Amino acid sequence: TSLFGNLYIQVNPLVTGYENWIRYVFAHEYHHTVWGNYWFMLHRGELDNKFIDSLVIDGEADSFAMELYPTLQPQWLFHLSEDEITCLWKERYSKIVNSTEVDYTTYMFGNEKQNIPWCAGYAVGYRLVQNYLAMSRKTIIEILKTKPEVLLCGLDTIRKI
């Protein structure tokens, strides 16, 4: 968790291979701190608290961590097929990205009863960011200052990267 420049990482030493993930999680949460400082402190009031903000902050954080640790393949990003992600995007996520009234827990972490897979929002956000990076030819650092809505420009589907 990242709160106002403080990182809080819980480690479960009973999980096999947890040591491999500490650096990844730190990088992910560090990105949240930098992104949050830019948008919530330096540019306070410029975001409208839309759901796209949530998808982008986590998509960028995972993209940043993946650049640093490319051999790690987080299950929460890669457990869905490209077809499943495209379907989720078309049928659900593309319709709520501009909303300020979204059940964050349901759409980021999933909800079996609503047919939203585990951590679907993380997978969708990651693909959204990766798609924008490929289209814009910018780096993850360069897009940090890009308003989240811009990542939707020209995006009809989330393509396979």
Tokens 């360069």 belong to 142
Q: What is the pLDDT of residues 108-120, one digit of tens each?
A: 999 999 999 999 9
Nearest to 30, CA basis, from 51, 57, 70: 57
Q: What is the pLDDT of residues 11-20, one digit of tens each?
A: 888 988 899 8
- CA atoms of 155 and 92, how far apart (whole Å): 15
DSSP classification of residue 103: -
Element (H, E) at 148: none
Q: Does the predicted model carry a pTM greater than 0.75?
A: yes
- CA atoms of 62 and 25, how far apart (whole Å): 9
Q: What is the pLDDT of residues 11-54, one digit of tens each?
A: 888 988 899 899 999 999 999 999 998 998 899 989 999 999 99
